[in-house]
Amino acid sequence: MLSLIVCNIKMSKTFRINYYNQNSVYEIYSKEVYQSDMYGFIVIEDLVFGKNTSLVVDPSEEKLKTEFANVKRFYIPSHNIIRIDEVDKEGVAKITSADGNIKQFPSGGFPVPPSSNNTEK
């Protein structure tokens, strides 16, 4: 009987995604991350923001909440991804400056894989 109870508990995954965007590093939390059908893009869905349990409000998290207020899913070029981690619980989403050693991977020059829609030779 115990095994039936354990099987019915839904294990929810949470991902921390760090990516480079216009001279800033975004750290966001999401429930869904996967490779897009569009070549070279990662899909981020179901964003998670921390609960405001104190009187102090983090301005960078509030900026991210307003930026992604009505967004169902969004696409990040894979060369802008710094890191994706599966974590136990969400933290505080934030935007930090990329003034340190973080540099964007050179874009362009990615070969397009052959497909039935791509008939160029």
Per-residue pLDDT band for 81 (boundaries 50, 70, 90) equals very high
Per-residue pLDDT band for 4 (boundaries 50, 70, 90) equals very low
Per-residue pLDDT band for 59 (boundaries 50, 70, 90) equals confident
For residue 99, the model assigns a pLDDT of 75
Q: Is residue 113 predicted with pLDDT exceeding 70?
A: no
Q: Is residue 27 predicted with pLDDT exceeding 80?
A: yes
For the record, the structure tokens of 78 come out as 């894979």
DSSP, collapsed to helix, strand or coil, labels residue 73 as strand
Residue 64, classified by CB atoms within 10 Å of its CB into exposed (0-12), middle (13-18) or buried (19+), is buried
* 75 in Cβ contact with 36 (< 8 Å): yes
Across the range 2-17, mean pLDDT stands at 62
